[in-house]
């Protein structure tokens, strides 16, 4: 596997990891509050499905947490890309 192919493979894996981390949802089935929390490591969205009153379909979005998640994951992608790009250039 040549260096460019390796760099492209790492970029693809990091892209998939970033998308998965931002859209990851964990469902909590509490008796009076059924909801799904989205985001990893910070919870940026809560999709409420049911309360003690009955079924609902509401979203609560924390834009600060979403922005910090984006900065974290995209920053990691850029850092790995710069590191691998520099390493590949040094080996050529």
Task: Specify the DSSP class assigned to residue 76.
Answer: H
pTM exceeds cut of 0.75: yes
For residue 6, count other CB atoms closer than 10 A to its CB. 13
For residue 2, count other CB atoms closer than 10 A to its CB. 8
Q: What is the pLDDT of residue 90?
A: 62
Cβ–Cβ < 8 Å for 84, 10: yes
In order along its 92 residues, the chain shows pLDDT tens digits of 677 788 788 889 988 998 999 899 999 999 899 999 999 999 999 999 999 998 999 999 999 999 999 999 999 888 888 887 776 566 65
Nearest-angstrom CA–CA distance, 22 and 15:
11
Q: What is the pLDDT of residue 88?
A: 58
The per-residue b/e assignment along 50-68, b for 16 or more CB within 10 angstroms, e otherwise, is beeeeeeeeeeeeeebbee
């Amino acid at each position: 596997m040549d260096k460019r192919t390796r760099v492209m493979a790492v970029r693809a894996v990091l892209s998939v990891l970033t998308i998965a981390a931002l859209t990851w949802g964990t469902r909590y089935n509490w008796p009076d509050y059924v909801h799904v929390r989205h985001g990893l490591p910070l919870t940026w969205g809560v999709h409420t499905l049911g309360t003690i009153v009955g079924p609902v379909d509401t979203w609560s979005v924390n834009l600060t947490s979403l922005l910090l998640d984006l900065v974290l994951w995209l920053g990691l992608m850029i850092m790995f890309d710069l590191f691998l790009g520099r390493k590949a250039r040094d080996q050529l």
